Amino acid sequence: MTSTLAPAADLRRRPAHRDPNVLRWLGGYASSAVGDNVYYIALSWAAVQAGTPAQAGLVTAASALPRALLMLGGGVVADRYGPRRVVLGSTAARGALVLTAAVLLLVTGPGLWALGAVAVLFGIVDAVFLPAAGALPARIAARSQLARVQGMRGLATRLANVLGGPLGGLGVAVGGTAGAFGLAALLVGLSLPLLLSVRAGRPGPADGPGRRPVLTELRDGLRHIRQDPVLRPLVLAVALSDLGFVGPMNLGLTLLAQQRDWGSAGMGWVLAGFGTGAGAASLLLTWRGRVPHAAAVAAAAGLLSAVAVAALAQVPSVPAAAVVAVLIGVSAGLAGALCGALVQVRAGAACIGRVTSVSTLVSFGVAPLTFPLVGGAVALWGTGPVFAVCAAVSALGGLVVLVVPDLRRAELP
């Protein structure tokens, strides 16, 4: 299957970090990402106020299941209607949904069922939004700029993580949970004018998917992945890396801090170390734009990240853990950005949404569903063995890259 971008996108020669079109996209992406962080803080706070910690955990995890079940279909939607159009529609829907939650909290103070319904609906919209958002960079930048764009996206994500917590806390302090939801809706809404101004290339006339049944188009996308000698093992490598990484670095880190008596401040330092390292990796890619031997470097970085994740459970002090977290951030950030750029280069314009949905399914949909399993395993065997097993799963992703010759030699344009 051959795929081409529209000439307007292919002929753009300026670096991505100097392209006004890419910068408008980046501003919209950053505003939406900050809004997402504020939304999750508001949701968790409202759920804790309305029920027990266990019930609050179910509410905050409620969006993961529809995301996992529907994300592959979301990739078909992105390819059928174009990533830009789908991002705009789903962003508007997300903003309206969060604003509705703010109004409900302000007027009636809804209980856990209403909050759970908001979370489920948000997950359904996310299943459409996430593949389109992941596919859009390939439509606004030349292939030679995709690594730089991934670095810029990583910087925006780090910024959102840094700003989301304080802004969410400020929203709760000033306006209660309704105010925090309202602030999240405002931030998501502010991204719309910027995204509306973004110009996106289109597939060539022979490449766009037809109006066939969704399952048929999904099978075509899966067949495209299966038949590509680089894309098939690359998607598998990404899935294994995410599956082993997300659990210990989310719920596992909280349990580790509790076990070591680091407290919330100590966990904050570890998270700050991870964010600093990941931001440094994103900044490097934004500056360099291209890394030679991209797949081999991604594999080495992924293996280093897995070793560091296993080591994190063995360090006794907060300073040592923060240093290890910096190493995890640098290596995981570099591996993730390079693999993301390689996926977009190999996917082709006509299938980019479906390929993106498959490559991100584990990270956004499946991995969060493993949190209860990670928590139960830590309760039975402790953090050390669980972190080691998860790290071994993550390391398999790097090994897949190294043992498949076509993938190991893969380069970015």
pLDDT tens, the chain, 413 aa long: 333 333 334 434 678 888 999 999 999 999 999 999 899 888 888 887 777 766 777 787 788 889 989 999 999 999 999 999 999 999 999 999 999 989 988 887 667 888 889 999 999 999 999 999 999 998 998 888 999 999 999 999 988 888 887 888 888 888 888 899 999 999 999 999 999 999 987 654 434 455 678 888 999 999 999 999 999 999 999 999 999 998 898 888 888 888 888 887 888 889 889 989 999 999 999 988 788 999 999 999 999 999 999 999 999 899 999 999 999 999 999 999 999 999 999 998 889 999 999 998 888 888 877 888 888 888 889 999 999 999 999 999 999 999 999 999 999 88
Question: Quick one: 191 and 222 in the same domain?
Answer: no
Question: Quick one: 137 and 262 in the same domain?
Answer: no
Is 316 domain-assigned? yes
- Residue 2 phi/psi, 5-degree rounding, is -105, 145
230 Cβ neighbours under 8 A, 6+ residues apart: 342, 346, 406, 407, 410
Q: Which two tokens stand for residue 324?
A: 């290890």
Residue 24 to residues 17, 158, 192, 356, Cα–Cα distance (Å) = 11, 18, 10, 22
Say how far residue 181 (Cα) sits from the centre of its chain. Answer: 21
Is 119 domain-assigned? yes
Is 322 domain-assigned? yes
pLDDT of residue 281: 94
Question: Quick one: 192 and 274 in the same domain?
Answer: no
Residue 376: exposed, middle, or buried by beta-carbon count in 10 A (0-12, 13-18, 19+)? exposed
Residue 202: exposed, middle, or buried by beta-carbon count in 10 A (0-12, 13-18, 19+)? middle
Question: Quick one: 241 and 134 in the same domain?
Answer: no
Which ranges constitute the DSSP H helices of 293-364? 294-312, 318-347, 352-361
CA angle 265/267/271 to nearest 5° reads: 115
Of the candidates 232, 222, 233, the residue with the CA atom closest to the CA atom of residue 76? 222
Question: Quick one: 139 and 101 in the same domain?
Answer: yes
CB 140 within 8 A of CB 29: no
Question: Quick one: 156 and 192 in the same domain?
Answer: yes
Is 203 domain-assigned? no
First to last CA, the chain: 19
Say how far residue 340 (Cα) sits from the centre of its chain. Answer: 10
- Annotate 349-395 with three-state secondary structure: HHHHHHHHHHHHHHHHHHHHHHHHHHHHHHHHHCHHHHHHHHHHHHH
For 77-88, b/e burial (b = at least 16 CB within 10 A) is bbbbbbbbebbb
CA distance 392 to 376: 18
Strand partners, 203: 5
CA distance 153 to 132: 14
Of the candidates 329, 201, 316, the residue with the CA atom closest to the CA atom of residue 260? 316
pLDDT of residue 294: 94
- Whole-prediction pTM: 0.85
- Cβ neighbours of 261 (radius 10 Å): 7
- The last residue of one of the domains, among 196, 227, 254, is 196
Q: Which two tokens stand for residue 52?
A: 């027990």
Of the candidates 37, 337, 248, 278, the residue with the CA atom closest to the CA atom of residue 161? 37
Question: Quick one: 177 and 240 in the same domain?
Answer: no
Question: Quick one: 189 and 226 in the same domain?
Answer: no
Is 413 domain-assigned? no
Question: Quick one: 141 and 267 in the same domain?
Answer: no
The DSSP secondary structure of 39-107, one letter per residue, reads HHHHHHHHHHHHS-HHHHHHHHHTTHHHHHHHHHHHHHHHHHH-HHHHHHHHHHHHHHHHHHHHHHHHH
Domain range for 298 is 214-408
Question: Quick one: 179 and 285 in the same domain?
Answer: no
Which CATH number covers residue 234?
1.20.1250.20
Name the DSSP class of 251: I
Q: Which two tokens stand for residue 408?
A: 């190991």
CB 11 within 8 A of CB 357: no
CA distance 96 to 202: 28
Question: Quick one: 176 and 229 in the same domain?
Answer: no
- Cβ neighbours of 402 (radius 10 Å): 16
CA distance 245 to 396: 11
- Provide the number of structural domains found in the chain: 2
pLDDT of residue 7: 35
What is the tens place of the pLDDT at every residue in 164-189?
Answer: 878 888 888 888 888 999 999 999 99
Residue indicated by tokens 């979301």 = 74
